Structure 1
């Protein structure tokens, strides 16, 4: 089984290019909306790492599987790392797409945006202003320069999905909990669990033109991975490899998954 976990400002539809090829190759595929996004419940609480890990584990079990390969992009990758820490017996392997290990988060490069997310109300207002224009701007700005990957109708789909209240608030809560839990017992517990490492094989996919995440933030995960770790860099690709160059990402996934069997 392969569980696909989307990033910030996206939803399950972000994996539309990978779902069909993975299914055709014989894998059971689940592209889930993280809590608070899309068609998932939009609860007032539950955006901490432990609850997110439980959500993923529940999806795996509810679909009749004992384990799954977790494929996470951006904050979906952070969710996958949480699952590897809290429910390791259900994680067969990990694929990180433009997502760092939580213990190697690039605070200098990404800290400003994370700090903005901590403010009350204002970030939510920015998301819903001008019919969700910020969502489209964010996605386009994170792609490699000159990469034309987001047709207007696709951008409209993302804008509409995140504007479904209270999705803006729920989506931001993942970033708020990540920052705030650093000073709480929940954060210390997560860091202890992550430091134990994982034996699950890891594939890291990074776009060379990623304006958000440096390569070292992904390769540094090696110190917490006892199993094999393969790193693939894609030329001319930014922070959304699965959408900017979907064929390359799909080929990398299929090749790596076949080697696991």
Structure 2
């Protein structure tokens, strides 16, 4: 976000909206989770949105968000990521993870992901270990594991066979 403040900041505006108390939980559960289906559609690739399984994935996700506590818990990651920057635990966490890893990392990125921009994702190379790979998957959005599970599983399996 810091390297691409305007573009990436707009792409993750939902993170800042999630800082509000109570409202985001109500928004996620309103109309039986309609916002959840809306995010899946907005963030997923166009081919996935018209695929036979998309409606079932959206239905199950909507249903899951109606379980008491799920909407709140789903927002806590975003809340902690923002609020912790001002607290000691957040600074300690940032210091602990601000190092190059000793192990190879496979990074898969949907080329059409509107949430995590490709430029931001590629900037994470600094923290990856030797023999790491970065693969941009064409026609996929924010959910490569759901949009193309066979492709994603194959890339993971191939990567693990080489490390």
TM-score range, shorter chain: 0.7 to 0.9
* Higher helix fraction (1 or 2): 2
In structure 1, the residue matched to 2:61 is: 158
TM superposition shift of 1:146 = 4.3
Q: State the structure with bigger RCO (CA 8 A, min sep 6), 1 or 2.
A: 2
Unaligned runs of 5+ in 2: none
Whole-Å Cα distance in 2 between the matches of residues 146 and 251 of structure 1?
19
Superposed counterparts of 1:1-261, under 5 Å: 107-147=8-48, 148-149=50-51, 150-260=53-163
* Higher strand fraction (1 or 2): 1
Instruction: Assess if the C-alpha contact under 8 Å between 2:11 and 2:117 holds in 1.
Output: no
TM superposition shift of 1:103 = 8.4
TM superposition shift of 1:194 = 1.4
- TM-score (ref. length: structure 1): 0.56
From the superposition, tell whether residues 211 and 110 of structure 1 become closer, same or farther in structure 2 (CA, over 3 Å). closer
Number of residue equivalences? 159
TM superposition shift of 1:211 = 1.3
In structure 2, the residue matched to 1:5 is: none
Whole-Å Cα distance in 1 between the matches of residues 69 and 95 of structure 2?
32
Unaligned runs of 5+ in 1: 1-101
Instruction: Assess if the C-alpha contact under 8 Å between 2:44 and 2:141 holds in 1.
Output: yes
